[in-house]
Amino acid sequence: MITVRPVTPADAARLHELFEAASCPCYCRYLHFDGDKNDWLLRCAEGRDQNRAELEDAVRTGSDEGLAIVALDGDAVVGWMKLSPAPAVKKAYEGRFYRNMPCFRGDRTGVYLLGCALVHPDHRRTGLATKMVRAAIDLARERGARAVEALPRRPLERVSDEELWTIPAPALEEAGLRVVGGEDPYPVLRIDLEPRETERSS
């Protein structure tokens, strides 16, 4: 039985098993790394323990850098999906594909970004990513978000799961996100959130 829910501090010590099973030394730290891409490649090659420590600390302390949805198979973490207030991940929007896009203009208050996603190799292509996206949207709404965005990669040619690293665009679309800017292979998807009925009536 797979459980999908927001990450908790108690999950911190178990996350490394997922990242190691997927041969992923980044530990979802790129958007919080100050160096350039070459520096980042070096960090992943020689400093994966630092990446792990930073992620575990972010989750353990409940900071915005550690906000995520996890999927569990029993006690094992088999899925991770990063969710961040847009101001906390400015680096994601600074890439040449997204810089100065009209869809990012205007009031950005309450906008959240669905970032990196990782699913254990044994649980891929099971619909788990879509379930995690839906859970992330619910979590964002609970935190007062008015919109959730994603910057998926929709490759023009087939690539490996390891090369993709972003949430698959079909999983986002199944959960209700729609293209609001950009173009393949780098579209921008968004869903505007309405308050729940209980919130409207309170």
CATH number at 69 reads 3.40.630.30
The band of 161, judged by pLDDT with boundaries at 50, 70 and 90, is low
Give the chain's domain count.
Answer: 1
Digit-coded pLDDT (tens) for 121-158? 999 999 999 999 999 999 999 999 999 999 998 877 67
Q: pTM (2 decimals)?
A: 0.92
Q: In terms of residue numbers, what domain contains 94?
A: 2-201
Helix (H, G, I), strand (E, B) or coil at 161: helix
List, in sequence order, every residue forming a beta bridge with 70; answer none if it has no partner.
Answer: 5, 80
Four-point Cα dihedral 7, 74, 16, 130, nearest 10: -60
Nearest-angstrom CA–CA distance, 157 and 129 = 21
In the chain, how long is the greatest CA-to-CA distance? 54
DSSP letter for 5, please: E
